[in-house]
Amino acid sequence: MDTINLRHKIRRANILEHQSGLLAAQLQLKAPLLHRAIKITGGNTITVLLDFVVHYTEHVAEFVDVLSTIGVNANCCEYTEAVVNSCISAFDQAPSLLSGENELASLMAQAYIAHRVIEEVNEHFSQQCNEPLIPMDMTRSNLIIHQLIGEPLANQLDLVAQNIAEQLERDYLRLDSGIFDQNASREIAWGIEVTHWPCLTDTLAVDLLLGQGSNNASCIH
C-alpha cells in the first residue's frame, strides 16, 4: 500500500465515522477515564479527540513521504526505506487482535503500531549513536493514543511494534552487520532543517502535561 491508498483509506474511514459515530461513542465512554495529565485545550472533547485520532493517523502518510525524501537527500535509503516499508505494512492487513473494530478505530491502532515502530527505532539509534535516526518525537502523542485505545489492546499492539522494530534492527540496523553506518543518524538528523517538514514538529489540540497535576503523570499506561 502506498501513501495515496493510505490517505484514501483514512478519508473513507473518516466519512464512515461521521455517518456511524462508532468511534465517537467509544471515546465518549473513555473520555471520563483518561488520565488527568491529558488536557483538551478547547472545543468539544469528543470532537477534539476524533480530530486528534484522524490527524495522528494521517501523520503516518505525511511522515512516510518526508522520510523517503530525507533518505534520498542524506544518501541513506537503505535505512529509511526499511522503516518506511514497516510503517506502510502496518496498514496492509489488520492484526487479528483488531477483529471487530470499526474502520477508524482499526486505523488508529495500525497508526499506533507504525508510530511505535518509529519510536523503538529511534531509541535503538540513540543508544548506539547518541542520535535518533529520525528527527522527531511522537512519544507524547503515542501515550495519548495508548490511552484512547485502552488496555489490554494497546499493550498487545506495543508487542507487535516491538517485534517489528527488533526485526528491523536485526536485518538493517546492526552495528556489526556491515550495513549500518554509525555516522548515518548524524547525517540524517543534521542533513535537513526540521522546520521545513511540519509533520516533524506538529502540535495537536490534545496535550499531555507530563509531570504536572500528579506524581504519576509521567507514567500513564
Write out the DSSP string of 93-130.
S--GGGTT--HHHHHHHHHHHHHHHHHHHHHHHHHHHS
User: Where does the pLDDT of residue 62 fall: very low under 50, low under 70, confident under 90, or very high at 90 and above?
Assistant: confident
Peptide bond into 152 cis (omega under 30): yes
User: Per residue in 207-218, pLDDT tens?
Assistant: 655 444 333 333
Are 183 and 79 in contact, with CB atoms under 8 Å apart? no
Specify the DSSP element, H or E, that contains 24.
helix 22-30
**pLDDT per position as a tens digit, 71-100:** 777 677 777 888 889 888 888 876 666 666
Place of cell 507524547: 140
> Cβ distance 152 to 63 under 8 Å?
no
**Residues 80, 71: contact at Cβ < 8 Å?**
yes
The per-residue pLDDT for range 43-53, each reduced to its tens digit, is: 788 998 998 89
Distance CA 73, CA 56 (A): 25
List C-alpha distances in Å: 152 to 11, 35, 146, 149, 180.
Answer: 28, 16, 10, 9, 35
**Residue of 179 and 148 predicted with greater confidence:** 148
Q: How would you class 209 by CB atoms within 10 Å of its CB: exposed for 0-12, middle for 13-18, buried for 19 or more?
A: middle
194 pLDDT band, cuts 50/70/90, is: low
pLDDT of residue 136: 74
Q: What is the pLDDT of residue 218?
A: 36
Show me where the domains of the chain are located: 3-208
Q: How high is the pLDDT of residue 96?
A: 64
Cell of 71: 533518505
Q: Is the pTM of this model over 0.85?
A: no
